[in-house]
Structure 1
Amino acid sequence: MINILDLDLKELKKWMEDNGESKFRAKQIFDWIYKKEVFQFEKMTNISKQTIERLKEAFYIGIPEVLEVFTSNIDNTKKFLFKYEDGNIIESVVMRYSYGNSICVSTQVGCRMGCKFCASTIEGMVRNLTSGEIIAQILKAQSEIGERISNIVLMGSGEPLDNYENVLKFINLVNSEDTVNIGQRHITLSTCGIVPKIKELADENFQITLAISLHAPNDKIRRNTMPIANRYTIEEIMEACKYYFNKTKRRITFEYALIKGFNDKEENARELSFILKKINCHVNLIPINEIKENRYKKSEAHEINKFKSILTNEGIETTIRREMGSDINAACGQLRRKYMKQ
């Protein structure tokens, strides 16, 4: 059977036509799923019983089951543990901001990138998520909180550019007026730096924000925590970022997780500012989420502020990411690992 969420409207219209149904039924079904949040064919009251039976024979609506939901007492961040039809578990996080609700979605079950400070990758990758399974996280989260989600961050478990085709289809799907209609400028894709795929993404000419998980000012430091650095140098990543900006005119975001005594020194900040000076960019400093599987500790507040001041004084727009859901282990992979161990 096919997850109907993996189809765009054009594909569902074709299926309707091929199976002797009226094409306009496809739009009705999309409205039920994406506008009315009805996830059972039987409850679609303007669809004939005969058509519903045909749909049930060919499709299922792949909305994940909520295993657990955790709500932060600090900022009302909600973290969902979702289970798919095949039993695989992923996490999604809904963050409340003054400008609306943002969701951090997963693109893979696990991850094979091997970044040492990330819990998602400890046990490797199980499989890619389909475009429908990614958008299902948004649909289920919206139905659970009873509010619209207006911003998406592809920054949960998995490397989005390692699941390129499914992620591309997801962006087109979620951006469509026929589904949840979230504008591309409200979508951020975070990658550890797969250079050829950054260039491919640039050629799509999307208007999404590209975020690079850099986390080091030079290749030597980067190789200690991010295996991808053995494949692509920072210089190659910077060239790909320039290509992306020239194609899309979209400013690049660089994410930099500060690890105490490792990459948070004054000389690290100065080296980072030197390599970023010629790029239209924004730096997002991240106080690292400590996990028991490694020795890395969060930098002190005064070290983080000093690091920020150095970059700002060099003319690089820099912010310190607000820690969301710190009391519910809202960092990627932590809750999934805990649940699976139990």
Structure 2
Amino acid sequence: MTARARILTLLAAVLALAAVAVTSVLHASARADRRDQPQAGGPRVSPGEVTLTAPGRMVFRNMAWGPHRDELTTVPSTDPAAPRTASGVKCLRFYAAAGTGVCLQSVHGPVSDTYRALILDAHLTERARYDVPGIPSRARVSPSGHFAAWTAFVGGDSYAGTDFSTRAAIVDVRTGKLTPTLETFHIIKDGHPYTSPDVNFWGITFAPDDRTFYATLATKGKPYLVRGDLTANTLTTIHQNVECPSLSPDGTRIAYKKRVPGAPKDAPWHLYVLNLRTMRETPLAEPRSVDDQAVWQNTSTLVYALPGDYGADLYSVPADGTGRAHRINTAAASPAYLA
């Protein structure tokens, strides 16, 4: 090949690479434009005031495409399909109780994203922030508003398999004292002290006494419901095959997802409710696999997310096993009902 031919070949290669780069930029720009445009036929969203002390409201993460994507928005609890009021505060996971909110966020960096937990007051003003060591997964606030909790994936990004690692943390929002991992608690399994290097915890839910909580403990490939004691720093197993527990407002029942035989490996769960007095399990009338920590709208109804066209939609189902599941809101996730 002559020198002139080599130069022409090199020039052609440079031009081809430049064309690819320009095309990629244009496609990325187009995607960004779509994200910034309100979705056609989607829910109406407009900016306004959002507080955590407005009884009869639901606050949740807005998943609709447009300028308010991922923002905390609010609607009346009795009319979840109503036009949404957006706060300007973006969260990947959210929960609130008694005027305290916890918001798990991503922080976009030049190389990779990092994550943090914000403790919010009733007006969504930041009170404190904490580093989160991985991808946010679950969030809860105690009924008193005195404690907040979150779970993050520090290895893997799904509960469906067994090759993942989680970190569950609890913070006293009054003092700022952080328990960065439940792995420092003493485990009592089947009535005996238990230690193992493979323990994982996730899905914290609080009782009203500011001492008791529940969570999932996984070890040796099996998940357990544990009852935690914030004063004694203990975790006691009380039932098997319980994931992402959610304590009812009256403290008598746990809603959870349970792995069922014969289900697909990537969608293995059905929703159940466990009576904490009798330990009787009730399957709920949701036939699909639910990978969420359900929320109690009241003592008789559960709300949870399922995949939707814009990420997630919210569904509700009776907590006693009767009735049927139905969609209550599109393009929404992480709901909290304000009392």
TM-score (norm 1): 0.31
Query: Which structure shows the bigger proportion of residues in strand conformation?
Result: 2
Structure ranking higher on relative contact order (CA contacts 8 Å, 6+ apart): 1
Query: Which structure shows the bigger proportion of residues in helix conformation?
Result: 1
Higher Cα Rg, which structure: 2
